[in-house]
Amino acid sequence: MSNPVKIAYTAIATAEGGRDGRVASSDGRLDVVVRPPKELGGSGEGTNPEQLFAAGYAACFQSALFVVARRAKADVTGCEVTAQVGIGPDAEGGYALAVELAVKLPSLPADQARQLVEAAHQVCPYSNATRGNIEVALSIV
């Protein structure tokens, strides 16, 4: 487990009503209605924690990919990262998440793309936070 040597930034968000309420950041830049998706018995009329996690992971992973690409002097023009976050019951009676990160690197050969994606997976804070806790599948598309 790796902890920050120094905290450079802290995000603060408050939830009211859980999965059927509202989530807002302390600076007011994020203020969204959350509703359970239809697949979990909700109305689906709002975002949900899994979508927010997918958005954050995709953005963070792409930034990590930019870092490792810059170090390798690799051209990542046209790069896209799509995160799929699934939720479902686990064997212990709770719920668990599974993640797939699909990475598009059209300007690179497949072997170099795979190396960069693997390197980004070691650098990304979301990957480091989930490693050993959530199954994260990586694919090059």
Q: What is the mean pLDDT of the chain?
A: 96
Q: Where residue 2 falls among pLDDT bands split at 50, 70, 90?
A: confident
Q: How many CA atoms lie within 13 A of 140 on its CB side?
A: 18
User: Is the pLDDT reported for residue 127 higher than 80?
Assistant: yes
- Average pLDDT on 105-134 reads 96
Q: Where residue 1 falls among pLDDT bands split at 50, 70, 90?
A: low
Question: Burial of 89 by CB count in 10 Å (0-12 exposed, 13-18 middle, 19+ buried)?
Answer: exposed
Give the tens place of pLDDT for each residue, 71-112. 999 999 999 999 999 999 999 999 999 999 999 999 999 999
Give the tens place of pLDDT for each residue, 45-79. 999 999 999 999 999 999 999 999 999 999 999 99
Q: How is domain 48-140 classified at the architecture level of CATH?
A: 2-Layer Sandwich (3.30)
The answer to whether the predicted template modeling score (pTM) of the entire model surpasses 0.85 is yes
Q: How is domain 1-47 classified at the architecture level of CATH?
A: Single Sheet (2.20)
* Domain ranges within the chain, ordered by starting residue: 1-47, 48-140
- Average pLDDT on 129-138 reads 95
- CA atoms of 128 and 36, how far apart (whole Å): 27
Structure tokens at 100: 């797939």
Over pLDDT 70: what percentage of the chain?
A: 99
Contact 117, 103 (CB under 8 A): yes
